Structure 1
């Protein structure tokens, strides 16, 4: 999952005066960096403002709580992931190639910030209504994107697609859990690329919709 700056860049944000948008982004970057170090639950507002090199007063001028800051961070990160996955897929390519392109782009996003993705998967379900709404909205956005990919002449000519919402949800759920357990076990997400590609092809193929 990708945000605007790398973790290295976040650490290098200068302490100089900034405009309102700049302060807001610094706080988001501070949260992301703290999650990478100690996880969302271990992160405090004090950690965020220290990394952003600003004050608690500034934090509360932009966000009502740590959870609200987290939701804004994840909203932007998921929007960027959807954009990158969409851009990676050549809809004129064979359908199996399109699946590989989408999976590889998704994994590249996760590998850029695995701690953020893990927090998205593990922490959001236990948070409040706003976080759960975001989780549902993001799932629906991914469902829409994948169904759009699978409903083209290229897919229909191959005897696959359109793909049902239920199948897409199963696909997304499997990828999320495989990602979470891999990161928790200290593994590299990219190592399961081939498993993810082949499993997705099998799930999205003709038998899945028979």
Structure 2
């Protein structure tokens, strides 16, 4: 569960199995509520099944069974399996990006803000392994539309480098360094998530912070900042996607 602008919303794959399950048989629930609940459950089930089986082996039958929704209802919401996965990707990435952006926006110098944003990103992915598998790994197997979403996600991280400081007297950073840094961070995250080690991501914060800062600030300053304590409270992401109390990390 992710807190965005004071409200808590669940990433795909983090809902309890019996969450918002519709009653069997006749009922008087509003049609809009039924439709929204079915869609939410299908999106959540897609993340769960894809994380367990992989996109190629995830059948619509299993997604619908996990969601407690009929196949007929599935096609009322989504054209095909890829469309459902993209909906899960868009929902989860949107929530994740809002949370990371809020952490980055807290007042501080640029390096500390990068440190804080990375910490938030790694904690979310570690606490939400089903969503992490879908967004980081399985989207690559889901077809060209999903891969384009993944490309756009990586490009969006360039905005966090808009305020990169220039080292006094130092050479200009070559074009493409920001893109290479983002790709490198993604590669490390991909390696851990794809091998079932998403829980280790927060432990990589010092290394990844150094990797991001060193091209712009130099190795000495980057090493010092990468191992410094975070200057603001951060949400401690507990197991199952539920954030525990706020702590100083």
TM superposition score category, shorter chain reference: 0.7 to 0.9
Match runs of 1:106-125 below 5 Å: 106-125=121-140
| Partner residue of 2:22 out of 8, 15, 38 | 15
Pick the structure with greater CA Rg. 2
Q: How many residues align?
A: 201
Q: Which moved more, 1:77-86 or 1:182-191?
A: 182-191
Task: Give CA-to-partner distance per residue, 1:63-87, whole Å, 9 cap, x none.
Answer: 1111110011101111112111110
User: Is the Cα–Cα contact under 8 Å of residues 100 and 120 in structure 2 kept in the other structure?
Assistant: yes
| Partner residue of 1:199 out of 208, 211, 223 | 211
Q: Which moved more, 1:108-117 or 1:79-88?
A: 108-117
User: Is the Cα–Cα contact under 8 Å of residues 82 and 142 in structure 1 kept in the other structure?
Assistant: no
User: Is the Cα–Cα contact under 8 Å of residues 110 and 117 in structure 1 kept in the other structure?
Assistant: yes
Question: Could you tell me which residue of structure 2 aligns to residue 177 of structure 1?
Answer: 187
CA RMSD across the alignment: 2.9
| Partner residue of 1:168 out of 166, 178, 199 | 178
User: Is the Cα–Cα contact under 8 Å of residues 111 and 190 in structure 1 kept in the other structure?
Assistant: yes
Kindly state the Cα deviation for residue 106 of structure 1 after the two structures are TM-superposed: 0.9
Question: Could you tell me which residue of structure 1 aligns to residue 244 of structure 2?
Answer: none
Kindly state the Cα deviation for residue 206 of structure 1 after the two structures are TM-superposed: 6.2
Q: Which moved more, 1:75-84 or 1:166-175?
A: 166-175
* Counterpart secondary structure, 2:15: helix
Match runs of 1:60-75 below 5 Å: 60-75=75-90
Match runs of 1:76-91 below 5 Å: 76-90=91-105
State how far apart, in whole Å, the 2-side matches of 1:29 and 1:10 are: 10
Question: Could you tell me which residue of structure 1 aligns to residue 108 of structure 2?
Answer: 93
Q: Which moved more, 1:73-82 or 1:52-61?
A: 73-82
Structure number with higher helix proportion = 1
Name the CA shift for 1:159/1:199 in 2 (closer, same or farther; >3 Å). Answer: farther
State how far apart, in whole Å, the 1-side matches of 2:177 and 2:16 are: 38
Question: Could you tell me which residue of structure 2 aligns to residue 25 of structure 1?
Answer: 40
User: Is the Cα–Cα contact under 8 Å of residues 167 and 216 in structure 2 kept in the other structure?
Assistant: no
Normalising by structure 2, we get a TM-score of: 0.69
Question: Could you tell me which residue of structure 1 aligns to residue 10 of structure 2?
Answer: 4
User: Is the Cα–Cα contact under 8 Å of residues 146 and 168 in structure 1 kept in the other structure?
Assistant: no
Unaligned 5+ residue runs, structure 1?
Answer: none
